[in-house]
Amino acid sequence: MARKPSRPGRTLTIFGLCMVVLFGLVALAGQWKPSLGLDLQGGQRITLRAADNNVPQSQLKEAAKIINSRVNGSGVAEADVTTQGNTNIVVEIPGHSNQGLVDVVQRQAQLRFRLVACSTQNPGPCAATAPGNGNLPGVTTPNRAAPQGLLKPGADKVAKPKAAATTSPSASPSASPSATPEASTAPEGDQPAGTSVDDALKWSKNPTPAWVAAYNKATCPLAQAPKDDPKQPMVTCDKDGVKYLLSVPVVEGTELKNANAGQNQQSIDWEVQLALKDQGTKAFGQVSQALVGTQQQFAIVLDGTVISAPTMDAVITDGRASITGNFKEAEARELATSLKFGALPVAFEKDPKNDTIGPSLAGNQLSAGIWAGIVGLLVVMLYCLLYYRGLGLVVVASLLVAGILTYGLVLLLSKGAGFTLSLPGIAGLIVAVGITADSFIVYFERIRDEMRDGKSMRVAVETGWKRARNTCLAADTVSLLAAVVLYIFAIDEVRGFAFTLGLSTLVDLVVFFWFTKPMVSWLARFKFFNQGHKLSGLDAENLGVDHLPGVRMAGANR
């Protein structure tokens, strides 16, 4: 079977188009400078103080671990989370001060799903006894948006909401409404509301008089933070001042398996997509079966605040649902992050201290690191030019292409994954220069060995490639495994080094296969190289042979 001819020109063209696409994405992202770490640009320091001075160290460390997962979930943002004394957690995050980060850090993320018995938008059974309340059951107060549908991802049809109110997402726990003492605990003389789903459904349609009285007595904003007791109904509000009387929880936040932010398939609205565990899925299905097609709302309560109160427009039995609430992208991502990494086991004081901090390294240290990389790169290029001559130009071009490709990927990761470049990360990029150059040297030496064995350059390029390819793959695999092990087991600063080392190793493979090899195959077609010019690096003298195979010596008989 004939071997397919090499087409280096086509490969180089496709590779060039991929580079254009990469930087087209960078242009769309608008990120032309990499995000720098705490050591290089500074950031913000958030100091959380526990509300209780007798917090066990185990709980404080667990809270620090959860916060670290929230702000540094990917391991490449290089945020620093430490405990300080017996009451404080200090969070240092690279970049400009951002109030949204404070909200993510301090949010308790206690999620519960409750049934809405009454609300100021749909008074229901509370309307008849509400003093001075002119609203009738089912009548919506003007100028309020319709409730969001609670849908499973991938639904074929986005159901339209059927009744009254909705809420805007709560940006932070500090925005949570407060509750009166009467609304925080079970009202005096109240009968048990029950804790099963069936009990909650019955109670929501006919709440006890004591809770109705507590609801009618309360006004938003309330005087004290509501007590979100999982064994009791509750009176609370949303950020916009809509008041709710809610049943006991029908689904606990502990039944949450996963949470991700995304855009609805039928619109551009952002939502938080949830996946529930077995018990949560069962309860959710039971509730959706009872509420579908009715006007009764289903409240999603975060840290005692209603963040969304949709109607149920589909029976959801697979445990996959979405929270919609007119979210902006940042709000949806922050909420998903808080829910995904769990509730904090420690309550912290409101309004944590938020300071701006400078870089931990002096500017000359950054300059020294950059100059070390530049000098190392120039030395490698100069050596390859002196030793390989014309072929050394391939090394120079490959290193430049690898550097440009790496920079483009760092820019995209800074925008899309929160990657920050620190001094350890720069060190990983510098180390990778040697790994990249080593691949070229192995390949070129294989070509020279093949030519010493009597093969022409065009044949040596292909046969040498087969032998060098496996060697370079093995070497890069070892480097990649080392980077993965470091990333998994090391602390955050070393993880930055491991990430850039692994990224550069992958870039080396891409450049080696789709730029260096086709470039050498293309150059082998030129007489300057295949006839062994003295400056090509492949002349007989440089190879240590009498004459090149396939090249007629001067003065030979014709």
* Sequence ranges of the domains in the chain: 14-36+361-543, 43-94, 112-132+147-353
CATH topology of domain 112-132+147-353: Gyrase A; domain 2 (3.30.1360)
CA atoms within 13 A on the CB side of 252: 12
Contact of 550 with 47, CB cutoff 8 Å: no
Q: Which helix (H) or strand (E) holds 530?
A: helix 527-530
Report which of 252, 215, 255 is spatially closest to residue 235, judged by C-alpha positions: 215
| CA dist., res. 548 & res. 554, Å (int) | 12
Backbone angles phi, psi at 250, to 5 degrees: -100, -25
CA dihedral 282→284→289→291, nearest 10 degrees, is: 160
| CA dist., res. 270 & res. 275, Å (int) | 17
The single residue listed with the structure tokens 């008089």 is: 209
What's the CA angle centered on 170, arms 167 and 173, to 5 degrees?
Answer: 140
| CA dist., res. 439 & res. 521, Å (int) | 16
As beta bridge partners, residue 515 has: none
| CA dist., res. 97 & res. 65, Å (int) | 22
Contact of 170 with 326, CB cutoff 8 Å: no
The CATH code of the domain at 43-94 is 3.30.70.3400
The CATH code of the domain at 14-36+361-543 is 1.20.1640.10
Residue 258 DSSP SS3: strand
Tokens of 432: 């990778």
| CA dist., res. 542 & res. 96, Å (int) | 56
Q: Which residues of 127-150 are buried (b: 16+ CB within 10 A; e: fewer)?
A: beebeeeebeeeeeeeeeeebbbb
pTM: 0.57
As beta bridge partners, residue 50 has: 348
Report which of 91, 101, 144, 154 is spatially closest to residue 120, judged by C-alpha positions: 144
Name, in order, each residue with C-beta under 8 angstroms of 421's C-beta and a sequence gap of 6 or more.
34, 35, 36, 37, 40, 410, 414, 496, 500
Q: Long-range contacts made by residues 4-7, C-beta under 8 angstroms, separation at least 24? A: 6/462, 6/518, 6/521
What's the CA angle centered on 8, arms 6 and 11, to 5 degrees?
Answer: 115
| CA dist., res. 35 & res. 43, Å (int) | 11
- Residue 236: its pLDDT value, please? 92
Residue 389 DSSP SS3: helix
Contact of 313 with 357, CB cutoff 8 Å: no
Torsion sign (Cα): 108, 114, 116, 121? positive
Contact of 401 with 454, CB cutoff 8 Å: no
Q: What is the mean pLDDT of each run of 10 residues along the chain (558 residues)?
A: 64 92 89 77 83 84 83 65 85 74 75 89 72 34 41 40 34 34 51 71 90 89 78 88 91 85 81 88 89 85 83 83 78 79 78 76 66 81 86 88 91 80 82 82 87 84 88 90 86 78 91 91 84 76 66 44
Which stretches of 389-422 are DSSP H helices? 392-416
- Chain centroid, CA 275 distance in Å: 18
| CA dist., res. 173 & res. 395, Å (int) | 56
Tokens of 467: 């032998």
Report the interhelical angle of 57-71 vs 99-106 (nearest 10°). Answer: 140
